[in-house]
Amino acid sequence: MTIFVDASALIAIIAFEADGLALAQVLSSDRDLCTSALAAWEATAGLARSKKLTPSEAHRQVNLFIHEAAIRMIAIGQPEFELAAEAYARFGKGRHPAALNIGDCFAYACARSNKAKLLFKGDDFGKTDIVAA
């Protein structure tokens, strides 16, 4: 089955966080991996912030990891917009305990539209109906 890699998982793996190895092992169990430009951007910004990297160094690290892990970049279009709007209505910040933000809503939407499991860090998505990787 396809796995959509959320920004939180990308950051954890690239930054060698405590749970990064376990997340990386999930990636190695499947060869159909995808992410979106929005998730990659969010990972870039998160790495720059948390690891005090320049934005261009964080961008380089995210691109390198995506390339080396053979993660394909999927497009975000009208179907993903509709699913993200639905995710916000059902699970959005201020509306539901999952408190999904914009990046989370689009990760949810991309996973759903690609019939993919979602690889993520944290407990927000666990409060939704998404299938976890």
Domain boundaries, the chain: 3-127
Domain 3-127 CATH superfamily: 5'-nuclease (3.40.50.1010)
Which pLDDT band, with edges at 50, 70 and 90, does 30 fall under? confident
Q: Name the residue type at position 43.
A: A
Return d(Cα 12, Cα 64) in angstroms, integer: 15
CA 46 – CA 49 distance, rounded (Å): 5
Query: How far, in Å, CA of 128 to CA of 74, rounded?
Result: 22
Per the document, the length of the chain is 133
pLDDT, tens digit (0-9, with 9 covering 90-100), for 40-77: 999 999 999 999 999 999 999 999 999 999 999 999 99
pLDDT at site 96:
80
Per-residue confidence (pLDDT) for residue 25, from 0 to 100: 94
CB 109 within 8 A of CB 69: no
Please check the confidence at residue 31 and state whether its pLDDT lies above 90: no
Rounded CA separation 61/64 (Å): 5
Residue 29 pLDDT > 90? no
H helix or E strand, kind and range, residue 34: strand 33-36
Average pLDDT, rounded, for the chain: 95
pLDDT of residue 78: 98
What is the SS3 assignment for 3? strand
What angle separates helix 20-28 from helix 7-14, to the nearest 10 degrees? 110
